């Protein structure tokens, strides 16, 4: 069969050329990748064109070599004036791309900002018809159901959840006291590449991956939001779960591929930034930051780098000689400038609104404290600053300071600054505690001078009591001698005229201990003091308002410390209270060492409930709870009816204990219910009867009195 015959047989319409067409089609952009359009250039007279040309050519050349001569740079002139735009051609398309990246938005001078675009883009978007005239509704992705995020708070028994991380597996469990914890979800292997973390109110669970952070939530811990941040290491949340902060040692780079770039969360201005603030709910980046230069390349990163005010309204970063305060949600600098503080070492936000004297604010004011060290001609200083006014409310001057630590009281009524001072010789160190009474007029500061150096300090939640762990710095540093002193302080206010002065009274001292950690129960009163160290781990459970029989008639003084229990735990690396203050977990993490990895669960009294040894155990995280919604009156009522409430839980516990009891209790419940419904039909008659009886009871009383008289006779 000849070719011509063949040709006649084949009908050209039947052949599908689409693959070839695709292969050889000529792109409209072809060859135009080298061109850019620069807009926003100054409009000027013809005689200034050479100067302008020179300036712009120089600027454009920073991105790459321009094509030679007129081809490389064309600025149209009409009626003796430039038009404010120009064209340029690079030798390489990469140069053009770089120019767009680097020079777009470039501020030429005060009035002129250059807009650099690819010529192809101008054609693509700028020409009529390429952009549809009518508005097309953007497609809204279907709503992803993830259940009620606060589901775990509705547990009928009010149990708490805890996250157990062992080997590569992360599981969420209900705490069942002595019994095996009950899984909330099937434990997930490879859940996170580093660690898992709950947000401050427990709503979200975060997992860390090389690509970024993933949040999970709802009853089933479904995937909620992805935060793409390459090689992310550290994460932190704003107190009200509005924002997420992530830090990666690798700066942000835009993907080369334009398609990928379209889905990439960051824009050009974020290149090389390492710190990202995200909107936790939407998953959008809110702001990115470069690391301050003094933190670049540091091995240990101070964390968090972004500190939040109690209501998420402000966040602040510390730089060398300044604090940068940002307003949310815009994340613009407060008053558009940095707050300069020479050689600032550290700052802390007040953890709640401060009721400043004379202030009418209902939620309280935003206050932060910072300190600066001594320099050649200046004392060390601790200052309180009000935000947003940036007024300094109070400053104190200190000298011979080697270190300061700021401990805000949880209600922000007090700020205790622990000042470590050195003697004149500089050989030994001792501590002063400076108390700022933030709610009083002019913020008086009171000083407690100690001979010891304080190594740990903790306020009791919602109380003015505190505990210090201190030691006498006598130059003898033999670690095998226990010489730490635990001191329990209260403070008594005395009114002298208008001003109140406080006396800080140590009502209990425990000496010669190794202890180094203070953990108050979330609701106060009970405290765990522990020694977390190389070998001789020990936990001590104290009740700071112990009621013994002697004290029953002395109700004013409830400062009575009692050691409830002392437990040894050799491998212990961490301790944590559950959010309700009923349980304490202590664990030995394989991240620190491989001794006795596992966890122990205690009651707040120190009674050991569980002792689980788990290979490669890493972490025990209680799921945080949001603040209680109960009013003070509600709480009082609960305390009053504690016996009744506890009865319910006792029953629940008994039911958990074994199946037979459970059956019996359920049967009894049913019987009781039946009986009540049976009795309810007589309810009305009974009430009538009762009234009659009530009268008679009074009569009885009378009779008895008469009877007694008789007996006496």
**By the criterion CB under 8 A, which residues form the site for another protein?**
641, 644-645, 647-648, 650-651, 654, 665, 667-669, 671-672, 675, 678, 682, 685-686, 689, 696-697, 699-700, 703-704, 707, 711
- Closest distance to another protein from the beta carbon of 676 (Å): 8
For residues 455 and 472, the answer to whether their CB atoms sit within 8 Å is no
d(CA 623, CA 162): 5
- Closest distance to another protein from the beta carbon of 698 (Å): 11
d(CA 278, CA 286): 5
| Closer to another protein by Cβ: residue 17 or 682 | 682
Residue 412 to residues 30, 396, 459, 462, Cα–Cα distance (Å): 66, 18, 11, 10
- Closest distance to another protein from the beta carbon of 700 (Å): 5
Angle at 569 between CA 567 and CA 573, to 5 degrees: 130
| Closer to another protein by Cβ: residue 499 or 647 | 647
- Closest distance to another protein from the beta carbon of 179 (Å): 18
- Closest distance to another protein from the beta carbon of 579 (Å): 22
φ, ψ for residue 148, nearest 5 deg = -75, 125
| Closer to another protein by Cβ: residue 548 or 644 | 644
| Closer to another protein by Cβ: residue 51 or 686 | 686
| Closer to another protein by Cβ: residue 144 or 639 | 639
Nearest of 546, 647, 518, 657 to residue 605 by alpha carbon: 546
First to last CA, the chain: 148
| Closer to another protein by Cβ: residue 627 or 697 | 697
- Closest distance to another protein from the beta carbon of 549 (Å): 20
| Closer to another protein by Cβ: residue 6 or 683 | 683
- Closest distance to another protein from the beta carbon of 371 (Å): 49
- Closest distance to another protein from the beta carbon of 638 (Å): 9
H or E element in which residue 468 lies: strand 466-471
How buried is residue 283: exposed, middle or buried, by Cβ count under 10 Å (0-12/13-18/19+)?
A: middle
- Closest distance to another protein from the beta carbon of 703 (Å): 6
The 8 Å CB, 24+ separation contacts for 401-407 are 401/373, 401/374, 402/429, 404/345, 404/346, 404/371, 404/380, 405/457, 406/346, 406/348, 406/369, 406/371, 406/382, 407/457, 407/458, 407/459
| Closer to another protein by Cβ: residue 423 or 641 | 641
The helix, strand and coil proportions of the chain, stated in percent and rounded to the nearest 5, come to 20, 35, 40
- Closest distance to another protein from the beta carbon of 414 (Å): 36
What 3-state DSSP class applies to 667?
helix
- Closest distance to another protein from the beta carbon of 660 (Å): 14
How buried is residue 44: exposed, middle or buried, by Cβ count under 10 Å (0-12/13-18/19+)?
A: middle
What 3-state DSSP class applies to 505?
strand
Q: Both tokens of residue 325?
A: 């305060």
| Closer to another protein by Cβ: residue 659 or 700 | 700
| Closer to another protein by Cβ: residue 262 or 709 | 709
- Contacting residues for 474 by C-beta, under 8 A, at least 6 apart: 428
Chain centre to alpha carbon of residue 234: 11
| Closer to another protein by Cβ: residue 6 or 633 | 633
For residues 151 and 226, the answer to whether their CB atoms sit within 8 Å is no
Nearest of 31, 27, 32 to residue 121 by alpha carbon: 32
| Closer to another protein by Cβ: residue 145 or 707 | 707
Nearest of 81, 71, 84, 96 to residue 39 by alpha carbon: 84
Largest CA distance in the chain: 149
- Closest distance to another protein from the beta carbon of 651 (Å): 4
Q: Which residue has the tokens 């004392």?
A: 379
């Amino acid at each position: 069969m000849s070719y011509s015959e063949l040709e006649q047989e084949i009908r050209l319409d039947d052949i599908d050329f689409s693959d070839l067409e695709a292969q050889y089609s000529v792109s409209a952009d072809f060859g135009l990748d080298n061109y850019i359009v620069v807009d926003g250039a100054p409009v000027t007279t013809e005689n200034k064109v050479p100067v302008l040309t020179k300036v712009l050519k120089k600027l454009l050349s920073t991105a790459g070599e321009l094509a030679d001569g007129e081809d490389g740079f064309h600025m149209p002139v009409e009626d003796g004036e430039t038009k404010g735009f120009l064209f340029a051609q690079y030798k390489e398309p990469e140069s053009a791309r770089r120019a767009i990246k680097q020079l777009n938005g470039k501020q030429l001078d005060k009035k002129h900002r250059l807009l650099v675009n690819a010529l192809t883009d101008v054609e693509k978007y700028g020409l009529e018809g390429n952009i549809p005239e009518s508005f097309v509704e953007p497609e809204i992705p279907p709503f992803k159901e993830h259940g009620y995020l606060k589901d775990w708070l509705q547990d009928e028994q009010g149990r708490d959840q805890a996250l157990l991380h062992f080997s590569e597996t992360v599981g969420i469990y209900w705490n069942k006291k002595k019994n095996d914890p009950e899984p909330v979800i099937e434990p997930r292997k490879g859940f996170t590449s580093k660690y898992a973390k709950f947000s401050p109110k427990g709503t979200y669970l975060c997992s860390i991956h090389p690509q970024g952070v993933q949040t999970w939530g709802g009853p089933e811990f479904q995937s909620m939001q992805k935060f793409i941040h390459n090689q992310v290491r550290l994460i932190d949340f704003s107190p009200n779960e509005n924002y997420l902060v992530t830090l990666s040692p690798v700066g942000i780079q835009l993907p080369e591929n334009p398609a990928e770039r379209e889905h990439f969360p960051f824009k050009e201005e974020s290149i090389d930034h390492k710190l990202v603030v995200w909107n936790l709910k939407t998953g959008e980046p809110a702001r990115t930051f470069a690391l301050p230069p003094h933190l670049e390349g540091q091995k240990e990163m101070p964390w968090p780098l972004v500190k939040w005010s109690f209501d998420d309204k402000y966040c602040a970063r510390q730089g060398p000689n300044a604090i940068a305060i940002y307003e949310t949600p815009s994340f613009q600098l407060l008053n558009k400038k940095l707050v300069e503080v020479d050689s600032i070492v550290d700052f802390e936000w007040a953890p709640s609104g401060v009721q400043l004297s004379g202030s009418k604010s209902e939620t309280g004011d935003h206050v932060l404290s910072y300190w600066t060290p001594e320099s050649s001609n200046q004392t060390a200083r601790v200052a309180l600053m009000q935000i947003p006014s940036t007024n300094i409310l109070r400053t104190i001057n200190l000298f011979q300071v080697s270190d300061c630590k700021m401990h805000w009281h949880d209600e922000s009524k007090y700020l205790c600054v622990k000042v470590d001072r050195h003697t004149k010789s500089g050989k030994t160190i001792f501590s002063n505690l400076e108390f700022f009474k933030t709610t009083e007029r002019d913020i008086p500061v009171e000083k407690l001078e100690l001979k010891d150096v304080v190594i740990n300090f903790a306020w009791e939640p919602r109380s003015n009591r505190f505990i210090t762990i201190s030691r006498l710095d006598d130059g003898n540093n033999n670690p095998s001698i226990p010489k730490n002193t635990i001191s329990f302080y209260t403070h008594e206010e005395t009114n002298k005229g208008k001003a109140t002065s406080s006396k800080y009274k140590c009502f209990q001292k425990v000496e010669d201990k190794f202890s180094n950690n203070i953990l108050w129960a979330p609701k106060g009163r009970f405290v765990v003091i522990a020694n977390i160290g190389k070998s001789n781990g020990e936990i001590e459970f104290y009740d700071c308002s112990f009621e013994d029989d002697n004290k029953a008639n002395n109700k004013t003084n409830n400062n009575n410390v009692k050691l409830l229990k002392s437990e040894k735990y050799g491998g212990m690396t961490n301790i944590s209270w559950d959010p309700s203050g009923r349980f304490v977990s202590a664990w030995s993490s394989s991240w620190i060492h491989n001794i006795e990895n596992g966890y122990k669960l205690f009651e707040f009294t120190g009674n050991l409930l569980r002792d689980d040894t788990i290979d490669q155990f890493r972490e025990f995280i209680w799921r945080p709870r949001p603040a209680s919604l109960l009013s003070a009156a509600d709480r009082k009522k609960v305390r009053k009816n504690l016996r009744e409430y506890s009865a319910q839980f006792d029953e629940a516990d008994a039911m958990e204990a074994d199946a037979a009891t459970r059956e019996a209790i359920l049967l009894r419940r049913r019987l009781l219910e039946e009986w009540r419904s049976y009795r309810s039909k007589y309810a009305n008659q009974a009430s009538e009867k009762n009234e009659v009886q009530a009268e008679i009871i009074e009569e009885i009383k009378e009779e008895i009195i008469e009877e007694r008289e008789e007996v006496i006779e």
